[in-house]
Amino acid sequence: MRMLNVAVIGCGYWGPNLVRNFNSLSECDVTTVCDSSKDRLAHMQKLYPYIKTVSAADEIFNDKNIDAVAIATPVKFHYELAMKSLRAGKHTFIEKPMASSVAECRELLGLALEESLTLMVGHTFIYSPPVRKIKELVESGDLGGIQYVSSRRLNLGLYQKDINVTWDLAPHDISIILHVLNDTPVSVNCQGKAHVSMGVEDVCNMTINFANGGFCTIQSSWLDPNKIREMTFVGEKKMLVYNDLEPIEKIKVYDKRVEKPPHYDTFADFHYSYHYGDMYSPYLNQFEPLKEECQHFLDCIKTNCKSLTGGLEGLKVVQILTAASESLRQNGVAVSLGDLG
């Protein structure tokens, strides 16, 4: 197959990382970048003198030589740009979250299927060594059945204007949890507060309930003194802590659990036992997840295979985010995912 020509729309915070990683892969050329800011385009031109810069995305969609488009703009532009990209026959990569609503995600997914195009969402952590190892440990049964998952993604800023902290930070945690547990979420509760910008919650606590009775909690904040990126998976046999800020030992597995007595006749006979064993940190291969993700996008285009983070996975994350928003509006009541259609 010939070299694929890739264009990137959005050269603000994340777009340059996509340009850098796609540019490092031998199967593609980044031929064009687009942004509304002349300063950002001048910066990209300085870094990559041979790349064409444009201020109008339609120039990319009308270019017959461009095979694939990566979209790294604010969420409110995802749907419109992705629809134009797919209608122009371009394979399309969208940064998370996939779109602003469930209906928009369904339209994008349907169009991609209709046109036989690869549609992929940038849930980068799915391609990271720690998450791959966590999934391996869970699927092997090493932790036992997962009883619950607790996640904290906290820092001071970066404040967004068009989405709240749940839509900004929680897609990472939601995508990881859905990927690792491979279970069906059924309802969502969410509570939060806007302290700095009216109507834009900067602290939120979400609970996702699953079909098998399991649940997970996700705490997201732009208003915390410390940057925290931590997930805890509590299994029947062992417990696992994933701290993404650790330089080397990002995963630690604890041989700890609570055991109930198999049988007892009286309350006096009933005693919980607490098992305390060793802790170990499994070895992780080191590579850049974003580069792996970009390579996966190209592989899916070339082989027409299903992506790990395709349109369906992007839709599921947005379903949960939408339910969380509705729960916030109703002061934290449980919102069934089945009610979203």
Instruction: Determine the Cα angle at 173 with ends 167 and 176, to 5°.
Output: 130
Paired with 7 in beta bridges are 32, 69
Please count the structural domains in the chain: 2
pLDDT for 173: 98
**Angstrom distance (rounded) from CA 98 to CA 4:** 23
pLDDT for 60: 98
Query: Which residue range(s) make up the domain with 24?
Result: 4-123+289-309
Domain check: are 273 and 131 in the same one?
Answer: yes
Return the DSSP state at 124: G
Low pLDDT (below 50) residues in the chain: none
pLDDT for 268: 54
Encoded amino acid at 254, one letter: Y
- What stretches of 105-199 adopt beta strand conformation (E)? 119-122, 146-156, 185-193
314 within a domain of the structure (yes/no): no
For residue 108, what are its two tokens? 């994008």
Phi, psi angle pair for 280, to nearest 5° = -140, 155
Domain check: are 47 and 173 in the same one?
Answer: no
Domain check: are 188 and 75 in the same one?
Answer: no
163 within a domain of the structure (yes/no): yes
Domain check: are 266 and 168 in the same one?
Answer: yes
Domain check: are 271 and 303 in the same one?
Answer: no
- Contact by Cβ (8 Å): 298, 25: yes
8 within a domain of the structure (yes/no): yes
Domain check: are 132 and 192 in the same one?
Answer: yes
pTM of the model: 0.93
Domain check: are 296 and 270 in the same one?
Answer: no
Domain check: are 70 and 54 in the same one?
Answer: yes
pLDDT for 271: 61
CATH code for the domain of 46: 3.40.50.720
Residue with tokens 């849930």: 123
Domain check: are 202 and 277 in the same one?
Answer: yes
pLDDT for 54: 98
CATH code for the domain of 324: 3.30.360.10
Full DSSP string of 174-238: HHHHHHHH---EEEEEEEEE-SSBTTB-SEEEEEEEETTS-EEEEEEESEEEEEEEEEEEEESS-
Q: Name the nearest CA neighbour of 124 among 241, 297, 318, 322.
A: 297
Give 46's contacts (C-beta < 8 A, 6+ positions apart). none
pLDDT for 277: 72
pLDDT for 270: 57
- Contact by Cβ (8 Å): 10, 39: no
101 within a domain of the structure (yes/no): yes
